[in-house]
Chains A and B, each alone.
Chain A
Amino acid sequence: MIQQFYPLLVAIPLGTAFLVLLFPQSLTRVVEGIVIISKVILLLIIIALIGHAPFSYFVGKWVPPIGITLVSDYISTLLLLVINSVGILSLLYSFEYMEMYTSKIRFYALFMLMVAGMNGVVITGDMFNLFVFLEIATISSYALVGFGCESEELEASFKYMILGSVSSTFILLGIAIIYSTFGTLNMADLANLISVGGKNKSILFAEVLFIMGFGLKGAMVPFHAWLPDAHPSAPAPISAMLSGVLIKACGIYAIIRVSYHVIGMTPLIHLILMSLGVLSMVVGVLLAVGQWDFKRLLAYHSISQMGYVMVGIGLGTPLGILGGLFHLMNHAFFKSLLFLCSGAIEYSTGTRNLKEMGGLFKRMPVTSTTCSIASLSISGIPPFNGFWSKLIIIIALVQREFYALAAITVCVSFLTLVSFIKVQRYSIFGDLPEKMKRAKEIPILMRTTLVILAILCIVTGVLYPFFGNTVLEMARDAIMDQQKYIHLVLR
């Protein structure tokens, strides 16, 4: 029954994006209503999909490998849940926050386009379709990063755009090479042909191109150079979406799908992914500790936490992949909460510089509490969610006898704690400077969003036994089982 509604996950936000552009500036409230209703419908469809048996949907009733298939397995459902929950909360936050910017209607159109693109990336079962949806998501994010049109935002957007175009070109080249070797673009068909036919040298070339392309989208070191400029310059709800969701859906998920299902994992690819992960972890946190711009510090921490996820995913053991997926979900929640808090602080005080802030606890209690909860989560303090996922990754590393990597992971976690203690001391505790004495608490809608995300941070950690099996462990089993994916589509 729900299977018939599957393409609506892309069609509804796409239609909303174009419908919204027809409205004049005076009807912004109506537009906000339309956008929220469409997001709620998306969430309802996704909630109906949780725990649903995997299925594949043939677009236009064209059977694979000729037609495009949309595949729902547990990993898609997990990503959809993460994308749309963070999406609806960022959207609610942006109703008040975007009053600082000029054209809210165009913002909502671009936002819904980005959501449509990301939903498309995680549900599609065809390589070129993945590329098209990836482009939809990232091109709208280029425009959203430079939304404020100040000089620094435009510079960041241009840099992001150039690097993003190069990575998309590499991905397209990889798709071209795979197509020329195998003659099909359907992911399940390719998986079948590659697992039966044995390794061709061109597959390794295509795999490397994919890791370069998707690694740039997912902010792996050494492809991370765009992120510290782009994420701070974007408006706060877009920073939350970019850092919380886009680098996962377009980067990590695409690498998982291509490496585990289409091309098949070899020890070499495990080594490459784990090396990228460890490099990202270490470089990200070392560069983050010295930052004084709040959002730039958070952006560097995104690189570091994506390294955690990649180490877990690259490890390949069931516990490692579970840790990676769990950390992916947790990071979406606490990182978007952190970015929304930084936006709230900027909304009230007008600055992002940590040296100019202080003592905001008395003036902005809700923001401060939720910011503290998110900082404790990202540092890995029990009982918040970051602790559990980092623990699983470290235990998985020790199980495989990578003792040095486990030690590095613990050190990186400690450095994360150090930088967030710095953030807390300078922004929330400490003395209130003169000009901040009149800072007000943020409006009620923004506050509600922060509180919901903070509750999610606590709940996903503590109540893991309730949802862990349906959402996370089934996704982990789906990743490790390539044959099940092939049978799902090709019968």
Chain B
Amino acid sequence: MTIYLMCLFLFAMGLYCLVAKRHLIKKIIGVAILDYAVNLFLVLIGYKEGGVPPILFKDMSQQVLSRQSVDPLPQALVLTSIVIGLGVLIMMVSIALRLYEKYKTFDTSEISRLKG
């Protein structure tokens, strides 16, 4: 139970970093921490106490594997999610670089020409 709470605390920290910081790159780091927190949560869902990795060895039967192994589905979901997070992170950083070229600052309180 504590580990789930710590995972959600990581989520809250990422959200705080995203909301409270004014520097563009720090906001991007906040989004990255959010991604890590949710991926960690997904992996923790599949975890079982004393479980083995979901690999079928030669001398193992299928029933033993399905009873003892951790859940492999969240691992597949997390792989997809990590790749999606990577794509978004790359785009965010490239747009942040272009924003610096245009506005000459990383401070979001000055990058606010669109108002109203």
Contacts and interface: CB of A to CB of B under 8 A. Distances in A.
Q: Which of A139, A158, A180 has the most CB of B within 10 A?
A: A158
Task: Name the prevailing secondary structure of the A interface residues.
Answer: helix
Contact of A161 (B80, B88, B102, B112): B88
B116 A233 contact: no
Contacts of B98: 149, 154
A473 interface: no
Interface in A137-170: 139, 142-143, 146, 149-152, 154-159, 161-162, 165-166, 168-169
A233 B88 contact: no
B113 interface: yes
A59 to B, nearest CB: 15
A159 B114 CA distance: 10
A162 B29 CA distance: 11
A166 B99 contact: no
B81 interface: yes
A291 interface: yes
A415 interface: no
Contacts of B73: 179, 185
Given A146-B95, A166-B31, A158 B24 contact: yes
B45 A180 contact: yes
A490 interface: no
Interface string B70-108: 000110010011001001100110011011001100000
Contact of B92 (A151, A162, A176): A162
B70 to A, nearest CB: 13
A161 B95 contact: yes
B38 A142 contact: no
B100 to A, nearest CB: 10
Q: Report, as a range, how many residues of chain A touch the other chain.
A: 35 or more
B6 interface: no
B99 A154 contact: yes
A176 B45 contact: yes
A286 to B, nearest CB: 13
Contacts of A180: 45
B109 to A, nearest CB: 12
A159 B111 CA distance: 10
Interface string B43-59: 00100000000000000
Contacts of A142: 88, 91
B10 interface: no
A441 interface: no
Given A128-B77, A166-B34, A176-B42, A158 B114 contact: no
A155 B106 CA distance: 11
Interface in A302-337: none
Q: Which of A159, A162, A166, A229 has the most CB of B within 10 A?
A: A162
A406 B87 CA distance: 45
Contacts of A150: 102
B113 A155 contact: yes
A73 B98 CA distance: 44
A98 interface: no
Contacts of B112: 155
Nearest to B96: A158
B45 A162 contact: no
Q: Which of A132, A165, A228 has the most CB of B within 10 A?
A: A165
A162 B41 contact: no
A79 interface: no
A305 B31 CA distance: 31
B105 to A, nearest CB: 11
5 tightest CB-CB pairs across the interface, nearest first?
A151-B102, A180-B45, A229-B114, A176-B42, A135-B84
Interface of B: 11, 15, 18, 24, 27, 31, 34-35, 38, 41-42, 45, 73-74, 77, 80-81, 84, 87-88, 91-92, 95-96, 98-99, 102-103, 111-114, 116
17 contacts: A132-B80, A132-B84, A149-B98, A151-B103, A152-B114, A155-B112, A155-B114, A159-B114, A162-B92, A165-B31, A165-B35, A166-B18, A166-B34, A173-B41, A175-B77, A228-B114, A291-B116
